[in-house]
């Protein structure tokens, strides 16, 4: 793969150039939960498929025409994974900090 052009391209780039056992990690209940590069790709792709299945899309690719998806969450790895998925389908993620 050539150099990544979009943020979510970094996942496949990382897979081709040395997948990580812990691409993301966060403490949950006092234990570290790790997401490998493979995990991140799998979850991202499943989320993208699910979003498309429920009708989310890039619309006409204009800022106004794209679907917007809001997330209300503290910072965590799942937020970034969802952001990858939303970018993959061409929609826009709208973060709302609690």
In a domain, 51, yes or no: yes
State the CATH number of the domain containing residue 17.
3.40.50.980
Q: Which domain holds residue 13?
A: 9-96
Residue-wise pLDDT tens digits, 22-55: 999 999 999 999 999 999 999 999 999 999 999 9
Q: What share of the chain is helix, strand, coil (3-state, %, to 5)?
A: 40, 20, 40
Residue-wise pLDDT tens digits, 52-72: 999 999 988 888 899 999 999
In a domain, 3, yes or no: no
Crossing angle, helix 37-53 and helix 77-89, to 10 degrees? Answer: 50
Q: pTM score > 0.85 for this model?
A: yes
Query: How many domains does the chain fold into?
Result: 1
In a domain, 4, yes or no: no
Look up residue 72 and give its two tokens.
């209300």
In a domain, 2, yes or no: no
């Amino acid at each position: 793969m050539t150099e990544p052009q979009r943020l979510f391209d970094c996942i496949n780039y990382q897979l081709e150039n040395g997948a990580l056992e812990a691409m993301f990690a966060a403490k949950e209940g006092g234990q570290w939960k790790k997401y490998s590069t493979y995990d991140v790709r799998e979850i991202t792709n499943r989320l993208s498929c699910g979003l498309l299945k429920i009708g989310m899309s890039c619309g006409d690719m204009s800022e106004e025409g794209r679907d917007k998806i809001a997330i209300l969450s503290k910072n965590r790895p799942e937020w970034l994974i969802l952001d990858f998925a939303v970018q993959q389908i061409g929609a826009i993620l709208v973060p709302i900090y609690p």
